[in-house]
Amino acid sequence: MGIYIRNNRYYFKKEIHGKKYYRALKLKRGQEALLSARLKQVEEEVLAKHFGISYSPNNQISFLDYCKKYLDSKKYKNSWDRDKQRLLIIGECLGDPLLSCIGKNQIEKLEKFLFARNLKPSTVNRYFELLKHLFNLAIEDRYISENPCRYYQKFIEDGYRRALSKEELERILTSARKLQEKPKSYIQSIIYDLIVLALNTGMRLSEILNLRKSYIKDDVILYPISETKYRRRVYAQNSKVKVICLNEIALSIIKKMKGDDDFVFPIKWRVPNVIRKTITKIRKSSKVNDFTFHQLRHTTSTWLSSQVSLSTAKTILGHSDLKTTLKYTHPEIEEQRKGVAKIGEYFREFLPK
């Protein structure tokens, strides 16, 4: 028995009583996590064929039933609600066929269906990433032998991120303040405070929404890492915390929040989607059409990196790698002009008079 690679794809070879069998494992480099389950499946298929034994290669399960099983196994994920919603939308298109009957035609049909809902290419990519992961788990559970999404070509995304200019930030803060003064929902009644807190701490939205009073010691937040990300990976390492220092502005916002439980912000749903409609209103009124809450973190990172060392900025922002801090830094054109002016001043003395 042996596994070999040809053209970046895995193949299986087995010899039984002098007869050789070759099978494509339908996996490529980078999918080694699926090798064990797929190899066992193919080996059983070869043995059954050689000895003339009837063999049913897959357990049968419907698509919607497996979606329930998938969601039950992923309840620890912060994105659980969003994944559930997306799988329901996928179910509207595909119906409830057997999981093993979903192929290329269904994948093409789903892509057209998603675009008919006026979704952006980047959002369509997220749908297929979820579906691809679901099918990979189905291979491990031995319901299917290959992933019908394996040949799906994702759309090229614009990965551009930027910091907000001073003018844009002023317009956004003004819009948020007006909403907070005459709110039509609880989120609107705290949106200005959320934005100001994000700017003064560099915290992610999920961290702010899940912030507890018990995490705060004087002017420092000791945020358990398991509550921010890597929830399952570092679950046993409860001693790991992210240290976030609070300035006077941030402290004043936290102190004025009054709730009966341990959470600083007494809201029902603690997922980033709760502010989506409010952010849309701010975009329209401020005319910053690409504004997202996460841009506030990029803005704070950009300003902070110009005032302190990158290592200090990395610690304040809670980045595990300095490369991440660099990705969050977007100097404005005026800063770049000042930089090249300094270069000119330095090298001027080397140039001939």
Output the tens digit of pLDDT for each of the chain's 353 residues.
578 788 888 888 888 888 888 778 777 777 777 677 777 778 877 877 777 776 655 578 889 999 999 998 888 777 888 899 999 999 999 998 989 889 989 999 999 999 999 888 888 999 999 999 999 999 888 788 789 998 888 887 766 678 888 899 999 999 999 999 999 998 999 999 999 999 998 888 988 999 999 999 988 888 887 544 444 343 444 457 888 888 899 999 998 887 778 899 888 888 888 899 999 999 999 999 889 999 999 888 888 887 877 778 777 777 777 777 777 777 766 666 777 677 677 667 766 65
- What domain range includes position 97? 63-140
Instruction: Look at the chain and report how many structural domains it folds into.
Output: 3
d(CA 140, CA 132): 13
Tell me whether residue 239 is in a domain.
yes
Hey, how many other C-beta atoms are within 10 angstroms of the C-beta on 106? 17
The arrangement of strands across the sheet holding 9-16 comes to 2-6, 9-16, 19-28
Q: Which amino acid is at 331?
A: P
Q: CA 183 to CA 192: how far, in whole Å? A: 11
The model's pTM is 0.56
Q: Both 213 and 90 in a single domain?
A: no
Residue 56: per-residue pLDDT:
59
Give residue 261's pLDDT.
82
**Alpha-carbon span 269 to 293, nearest angstrom:** 17
Q: Are residues 133 and 197 in the same domain?
A: no
The CATH number of the domain holding residue 257 is: 1.10.443.10
Instruction: Give domain status of residue 249, yes or no.
Output: yes
CA-CA distances (angstroms) from residue 238 to 51, 218, 224, 225, 227? 54, 21, 7, 8, 10
If asked whether residues 71 and 25 sit together in one domain, one would say no
Asked whether residue 318 is assigned to any structural domain, the reply reads: yes
Residue 31 to residue 74: CA distance in whole angstroms = 20
207 and 325 housed in the same domain: yes
Q: Are 143 and 149 in contact (CB under 8 A)?
A: no
Domain shared by 41 and 108, yes or no:
no
Query: Does residue 80 sit in the same domain as residue 8?
Result: no
Phi–psi pair at 46, nearest 5 degrees: -65, -45
Q: Does residue 256 share a domain with residue 226?
A: yes
Write down the H helix ranges in 248-321.
Answer: 248-256, 276-286, 294-307, 310-317
Tokens of 122: 């980047």
Any domain includes 353: no
Whether residue 73 sits in one domain with residue 37? no
Please check whether residues 205 and 269 belong to one and the same domain: yes
Same domain, 258 and 125: no
Co-location of 115 and 7 in the same domain = no
User: Which pLDDT belongs to residue 40?
Assistant: 77
Supply 297's token pair.
């973190």
- Whole-angstrom CA distances from 347 to 333, 335, 338, 342 are 21, 19, 15, 9
Residue 36, CA distances (Å) to 42, 71, 73 in order: 10, 23, 20
pLDDT at site 336: 67
Residues 44, 55: contact at Cβ < 8 Å? yes
